């Protein structure tokens, strides 16, 4: 009986291959492959959760059938002759790439992760290419791509095709409902306790993320940006100033508090900043939370008038801090050594290091962060003279500790921690070597800030400006804790390594006098709980910009300042 039905199946299968496949035969084997092979990281994660063997098998079988059913429903809806093969191939490739990044870095795929992918650039992509990536893609996508392209779908009349596709989708859906009912108890508690698992379901995670992203973006296109601080003007301090203020905002990249020397890390990753701190005018803030776990969310949020709770982490609908500063009459300049300013600097003067040719600092379209300091006096001098005479806010957007190729962020002479990992395939390296490479990037940021502070001190000493600097990292990084690497874990369950970030502020004596914000007052408040929410209002306060948009409660300098004028 079994044999004969097997023979019948084989004959049908052959007929299917010769004549072209019906949608069912095209859809369900592919869905099964994607569910099983395309979700190995998910199955590994579930298996690692522990529990009894019996429970584990119920979970694996239940979840496996759900993923098979869900994928089958999706593919059934796509089973149109000219649509199916490209669409199915895309899903297979997406699943293969996802598998690699989940495996290598413990990444999960949610809407913000996809937004990152959409906004990536050639440099970032180059950092991620590796033989391991090629191997995983071939392993996961090779067989199904061959199978998809071997035979076309059998063409039917429109109505019959619709009936077949809908039939497949409905059947799949019924299966999903049935399995859900049968395994509800254990699956529901699994999903409740391990929310990030849902973002590991390949390739449905990407389909969900793409749909969410598109839904967020579409209305955005027609909406205009909300103006912020239309009443912004400069306070009384500007009436008779001898030296216009010059504030540098350094937007750090992927630096985490845990490896920050000034935050108590056992290794000396911030020796230069420690010297500035000892001199008395630099304050380290030890309890700062980022707004997001990736650049795409954090950078706009940092400059947003909205707090994270008010939606500062969502796609920006408001003008940024830089717009308000410019409207108040100040000169603003954004210098970028990264993948751009994520819309924050669109309406202010901005420049990138990308086209710079600086021997020893730039190579192959990439520069070390120090390249941003080259010719800085000239750049300042080139700004609108009337604005410059009032004051300047200069943003330096670092490459910082951007991974996974940490070793590429530091010049050969600035690698105090050895041996360092020199591969972007993190599993190729010993954990300690990976930390060495990361710590070298932190030490290089320390050096970069040291250079920047020296430049600011010189300008203050020359009587050109009252100068100040705020450094704040955009988000942290995982270096293998709990099997996680890189960053971008959805905020609700992100580990503190990805959200607890370093921050320092340095005010020249002239700026302290001008604003009344004394370093010793700030030092006494260095351990207060702060977040990215504070930057917008703190900069307005420090620069003496008056506007309704300013909220004193979120100005970290406020409690130390003399009454604003
Ligand atoms: Zn970042």
Would you state the pLDDT for residue 565?
43
pLDDT for 239: 80
504-544 pLDDT, tens per residue?
999 999 999 999 999 999 999 999 999 999 999 999 999 99
Ligand 1 center from residue 183 Cα (angstroms) = 40
In this structure, the chain runs to a length of 565
pLDDT of 21 over the 90 cut: no
Dist. CA 67–CA 31, nearest whole Å: 8
Mean pLDDT of 533-559: 97
Mean pLDDT over each residue of the chain, to the nearest integer? 90
Residue 214 confidence (pLDDT): 84
CA-to-CA separations, 285 to 90, 370, 471, 524, in angstroms, rounded: 46, 24, 10, 10
Does the pLDDT at position 88 exceed 90? yes
Higher per-residue pLDDT: 171 or 6 = 171
Q: 295 C-alpha to center of ligand 1: Å?
A: 3
pLDDT mean over 190-207: 86
Range of weakest confidence among 315-319, 387-391, 417-421: 315-319
Contact 21, 164 (CB under 8 A): no
Condensed to tens digits (0 to 9), the pLDDT of residues 95-140 reads 999 999 888 888 888 887 888 787 777 878 888 888 999 999 999 9
- Of the candidate ranges 41-55, 110-124, 163-177, 453-467, the one whose mean pLDDT is the lowest: 110-124
Please tell me the distance between residue 90's alpha carbon and the centre of ligand 1 in angstroms.
Answer: 28
Per-residue DSSP letter, 480: S
H or E stretch at 478:
strand 478-479
Instruction: State the sign of the Cα–Cα–Cα–Cα dihedral 139, 143, 149, 154.
Output: negative
Report residue 198's pLDDT band, with 50, 70 and 90 as the boundaries: confident
> pLDDT above 70 covers what percent of the chain?
95
Measured in angstroms, how far is the CA atom of residue 474 from the centroid of ligand 1? Answer: 5
Give residues with Cβ within 8 angstroms of 275, minimum separation 6: none
Distance 402 CA to ligand 1 centre (A): 7
pLDDT of residue 290: 98
Is the pLDDT assigned to residue 330 strictly greater than 70?
yes
How much is the pLDDT for 12?
53
Q: Are 329 and 233 in contact (CB under 8 A)?
A: yes
Taking the centre of ligand 1 as the mean of its atom positions, its distance from the CA of residue 30, in whole angstroms, is 36
Q: Which residue has the tokens 């796609």?
A: 315
pTM of the predicted model as reported, rounded to 2 decimal places = 0.83
Helix (H) or strand (E) segment spanning residue 485: strand 485-486
CA 394 to chain centre: 23
What pLDDT does residue 5 have?
A: 54
User: What does the alpha-carbon distance between residue 344 and residue 341 come to, in Å, rounded to a whole number?
Assistant: 5
Q: How confident is the model at residue 19 (pLDDT cuts 50, 70, 90)?
A: very low
CA of 46 to the centre of ligand 1 (A): 29
Choice between 450 and 15, residue whose per-residue pLDDT is larger: 450
DSSP assignment of 419-469 equals: S----SSGGGS-HHHHHHHHHHHHHHHHHHHHHHHHHHHHHHHTTS-EEEE
Task: Please report the pLDDT score of residue 58 as a whole number.
Answer: 85
Q: What is the pLDDT of residue 563?
A: 57
pLDDT category of residue 11 using cuts at 50, 70 and 90: low
Calculate mean pLDDT across residues 19-47.
Answer: 87
Residue 360, pLDDT > 80, answer yes
CA distance 296 to 164: 42
The stretch 289-309 carries a mean pLDDT of 96
User: What local confidence, expressed as pLDDT, does residue 363 receive?
Assistant: 87
The torsion defined by the Cα of 134, 137, 139 and 145, in degrees rounded to 10, comes to -130
326: which 2 tokens? Answer: 């410019």
How far is the centre of ligand 1, averaged over its atoms, from the C-alpha of 561 (Å)?
Answer: 31
Does 185 have pLDDT greater than 60?
A: yes
- CA 7 / ligand 1 centre spacing (Å): 57
CA–centroid distance, 357 to ligand 1, in Å, is 24
- Separation of CA 494 and ligand 1 centre (Å): 15
Higher pLDDT, 167 or 251: 251
Respond yes or no on whether the N-terminal peptide bond of residue 404 is cis (omega within 30° of 0).
yes
Own/partner long-range contacts of 43-52 (Cβ < 8 Å, ≥24 apart): 45/194, 45/197, 45/200, 46/190, 46/197, 49/190, 49/194
How many A from CA of 35 to the centre of ligand 1?
Answer: 32
Cα angle value 305/471/232 (rounded, 5°): 30
């Amino acid at each position: 009986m079994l044999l004969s039905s097997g023979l019948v199946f084989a004959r049908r299968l052959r007929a299917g291959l010769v004549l072209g496949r019906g949608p069912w035969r095209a859809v369900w084997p592919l869905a099964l492959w994607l569910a099983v092979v395309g979700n190995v990281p998910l199955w590994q994660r579930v298996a690692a959760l522990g529990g009894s063997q019996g429970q584990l098998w119920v979970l694996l079988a239940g979840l496996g059938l759900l993923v098979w059913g869900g994928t089958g429903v999706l593919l059934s809806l796509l089973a149109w002759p000219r649509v199916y093969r490209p669409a199915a191939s895309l899903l297979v490739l997406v699943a293969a790439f996802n598998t690699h990044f989940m495996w290598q870095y413990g990444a999960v795929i949610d809407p913000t992760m996809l937004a990152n992918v959409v906004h990536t650039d050639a440099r970032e992509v180059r950092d991620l290419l590796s033989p391991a990536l090629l191997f995983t893609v071939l392993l996961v996508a090779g067989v199904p791509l061959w199978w998809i392209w071997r035979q076309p779908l059998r063409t039917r009349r429109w109505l019959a095709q619709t009936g077949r596709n809908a039939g497949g989708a409905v059947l799949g859906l019924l299966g999903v409902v049935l399995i859900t009912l049968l395994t509800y108890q254990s699956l529901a508690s699994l999903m409740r306790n391990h929310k990030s698992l849902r973002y590991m379901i390949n390739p449905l995670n990407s389909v969900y993320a793409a749909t969410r992203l598109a839904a967020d973006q579409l209305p955005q296109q027609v909406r205009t940006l909300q103006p912020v601080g239309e009443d912004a003007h400069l306070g009384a301090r500007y009436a008779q100033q001898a030296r216009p203020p010059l504030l540098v905002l350094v937007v750090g990249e992927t630096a985490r508090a845990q490896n920050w020397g000034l935050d108590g890390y056992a290794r000396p990753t911030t020796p230069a900043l420690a010297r500035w701190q000892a001199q008395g005018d630099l304050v380290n803030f030890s309890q700062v939370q980022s707004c997001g776990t990736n650049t795409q969310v954090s950078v706009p949020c940092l400059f947003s008038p909205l707090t994270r709770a008010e939606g500062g982490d969502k796609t920006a609908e408001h003008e940024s801090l830089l717009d308000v500063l410019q409207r108040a009459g100040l000169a603003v300049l954004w210098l970028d050594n990264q993948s751009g300013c994520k819309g924050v600097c669109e309406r202010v003067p901005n420049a990138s290091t990308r086209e710079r040719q600086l021997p020893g600092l730039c190579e192959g379209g990439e520069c070390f962060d120090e390249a941003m300091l080259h010719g800085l006096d000239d750049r300042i001098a080139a700004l609108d003279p009337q604005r410059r005479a009032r004051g300047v806010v200069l943003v330096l957007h670092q490459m910082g500790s951007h991974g996974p190729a940490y070793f590429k962020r530091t010049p050969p002479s600035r690698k105090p921690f050895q041996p360092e990992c020199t591969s972007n395939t993190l599993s190729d390296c010993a954990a300690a070597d990976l930390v060495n490479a990361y710590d070298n990037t932190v030490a290089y940021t320390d050096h970069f800030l040291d250079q920047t502070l020296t430049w600011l001190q010189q300008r203050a000493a020359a009587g050109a400006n009252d100068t100040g600097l705020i450094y704040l990292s955009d988000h942290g990084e995982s270096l293998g804790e709990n099997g996680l690497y890189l960053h971008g874990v959805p905020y609700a369950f992100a580990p503190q390594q990805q959200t607890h970030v370093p921050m320092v502020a340095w005010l020249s004596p002239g700026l302290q006098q001008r604003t009344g914000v004394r370093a010793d007052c700030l030092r006494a408040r260095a351990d207060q709980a702060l977040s990215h929410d504070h930057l917008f209002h703190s900069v307005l306060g420090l620069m003496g910009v008056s506007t309704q948009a300013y909220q004193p409660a979120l100005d970290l300098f406020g409690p130390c300042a003399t009454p604003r004028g």
